[in-house]
Structures are given as structure tokens and as C-alpha cells.
Amino acid sequence: MKRLLYLSLGVLVLSGCLPVATDKTEVLNTEEEVETAIIPSIQLDDQYYRTLLPYKESVTRGTIVSRLNSRYDIKEAESGLLRMSQQQFSPEDYYFQEGQKITSEELTSWLRRYDAENNPDGLNPENTLPEGSEERPPASILAHVVEQNYLVKTDEDTIRLGGVSIGLALNSVYYNRINDVAYEEEIPSSRIVEEGQRMANEIVARLREKEGMAKVPIVVGLFKQNSRSAITPGTYFSYGTAAPEATAVSNWNAVSEEYVIFPSSRTEEKYRTIDTKVRNFKQATEKYFSNFTSVVGTGFYQGDELRQLKIEIPIEFYGAAEIIGFTQYVTGLVIEHFPENIQVEVSVTSMNGPEALILRKVDQTEPVVHIYD
């Protein structure tokens, strides 16, 4: 395992440990079941939820890996739902816990096709074609269901379930085989929206029947996953809330989020400025050494605003001094080329793994730099 070396480049990084302050409290799961848990009193950032300890994994964990098309979608389906949930459940007042309401057996059933006799709870479209048919069946749209629970304090020593967020990961492309012949079918956006909203309302109605779920708000997000060949993740495109006791989402709101690769061939105005900056950054980086393969940036947009830019630089350096020198140089380029109103993260990697991390948050003048030794 690599040790972490803190490199000061105008920024002092304190290597001391923060005090592990915690509070013990009771978690009220049902009317009869009471558990004791620990809540860390330190919140790393106002955008992060505090979690209960010991950490309780979702019973459906692992299912997502086989259902989503790429590691990019796996991460974004969960982190995007966390981000969306903050609009309903403030990290200042709520605590996060992985989903505990949907069982693994239920999820498996929901993800399969509807079959009146064999799988009446299936949410994907029914296949009425006879076995052995060479016709294409209806595309399966629902790929996964992400559940997140949000807990709130009722008094000093007790917390209860305060709300639930559900993310529906929906296919944009359906992959299938007929008689050992593979094919892929692009699913129209209108179909994704229609089926996503139908499934969302059905899931809300089913959750209301579970103990402790009748009177909590349920946020539902619709996530459109990218194709298998994509190098950027899909994003949430819509969300809505079912008020306490409601068995359906009352209104749907558009979500405008997007990941864009830089340098980019896209010509829209909102991408042009940052594309030029990334290209100039890339050219300046190439002047240092030729021992790296590329500079690739991924920008995260909300509406027309760039919120975050992540840059990856794979290298073939061999000496520690060379890596330190290169990192110092690149840190200067970050300051020179990118404005302070966006978060910039640069990862320097090699065949051995991560070599350096440069992070400058919004409105910071100097980046924080980590070099792995």
C-alpha cells in the first residue's frame, strides 16, 4: 500500500488526526425494534451526510454491479441520488443509511419481466412472444433500483426514518441475443420517461405497504444510463416527491446535469471556453516531459454552469524526484489556466497506481497537493 506524502505548495496540510467525537443514540426502526448506534459528531463538509455506526450495508448491495453498463454508471447512480436528495433532506438535519426497506428477493423480482403467473411483481415489460421466436421482445428498461434512507432525530437520544430516496436506473440501450445473435436496440427517450414514471409510482405504492413507510416523504429520481461503450456516466434527468401517505409522485421536475469529455469536438458556446483552457493546459503539460500518454478532462455541468472538472494524466515516470517535479509544475498550470469558480481535480497515475492528486476547491487560490510515496 502506498504511503501518503503531503507536499506543501503554498498550502499547509495538517497531518494530525481529527478527534473522533461520537454520540450514542437509539435508532427506532419499527414500533418494537430498537437498535443502538453511534453518530459521528464531526461532519467533513456541509454537502456530506453523517452516517450511523456501525455502518449498515444495503441488503441489495452487489446487484447493481451486474445490472449497470459501466463503473461510471455504478458510481453516478448512487452519488447522483445523494446529490438530489439534499434538496429534500438537508445534510444538516438528516443522517444517511443505505437502503434497508427493499429486500434482495423483492429487487430481483422487480427487475425481471412481468409475468402474471410466474412473476406478477415484475416491472419490466411482459414478453408475450412464444419460446424460440426470432422476433425481438420488448426492450427491458429498468436496470436497477437504488434505495437510500434518511434518518432524523426525534429527541436527543432517538432517531427514526425521516425519508427515503429511490433511484431508478433506466436503460437507454437494450442489449439482447436471439439464437446466439447479439443485437442492441436504442430506446426512445419518450419511452424511457413514460416507463420510468409508471415504475416509480408502482414502487412508491409498494413501499407504502411496508412498516414505517406510510408517513415519510419518498423522493424518486429517474437515471438514464449510458451505453456500454460510453466513457462518461449517465445522469438523472427527472425527479419527483411523493408526499407522506401519497401512493404516487405528485409532480416531476427536470434535472439538467451532464458529463462532458475535454478536449471536446462539441461546438456549443457553454463548452467552448473550458475546452480552450483544457487544450492550453494539455499543451503546457506536454512541454515538461513526453513520458505520458494523454490529458483527459471530464466536466460536470448543472444547467449551463460547470461545477467540477476532473483531469487524468497517465505517466510513465520512474523516479520520485521526477514525479514531485512534474506535480509541482502541473499545480502551477492549474492555478494559471483555470478560474477559481470551478473545482478542479487532477489525478496523476502510473502503472503502479495513483502517484499524485491536485485539488483546488471553489474560491481557493492555492490547490492542496498529495503525493503518494
Any idea which residue has 405497504 for its cell?
A: 209
| Mean per-residue pLDDT over the chain, rounded | 87
Highest mean pLDDT among 44-53, 295-304, 319-328: 295-304
Calculate ∠ Cα 338-344-346, nearest 5°. Answer: 110
* CA dist., res. 85 & res. 15, Å (int): 32
* CA dist., res. 310 & res. 348, Å (int): 11
* CA dist., res. 85 & res. 201, Å (int): 18
pLDDT at 293: 62
Mean pLDDT over 239-250 rounds to: 97
Cβ–Cβ < 8 Å for 105, 72: no
Any idea which residue has 438535519 for its cell?
A: 93
Higher-scoring residue by pLDDT: 95, 131: 95
How confident is residue 137, by pLDDT bands cut at 50, 70 and 90? very high
How confident is residue 291, by pLDDT bands cut at 50, 70 and 90? low
Coil vs helix vs strand at 140:
coil
pLDDT at 9: 37
- CA distances, 211 to each of 31, 161, 168, 249, 361 (Å): 9, 11, 22, 20, 42
The half-sphere exposure of 62 on its side-chain side, counting CA atoms within 13 A, is 7
How confident is residue 25, by pLDDT bands cut at 50, 70 and 90? low
pTM equals 0.86
How confident is residue 66, by pLDDT bands cut at 50, 70 and 90? low
* CA dist., res. 143 & res. 104, Å (int): 14
Residue 225 is classified by DSSP as: P
* CA dist., res. 144 & res. 220, Å (int): 13
* CA dist., res. 352 & res. 90, Å (int): 40
pLDDT tens profile 35-64: 677 777 666 677 789 988 888 888 887 765
Structural domains in the chain?
Answer: 59-123+138-255 (3.10.570.10), 260-372 (3.30.300.190)
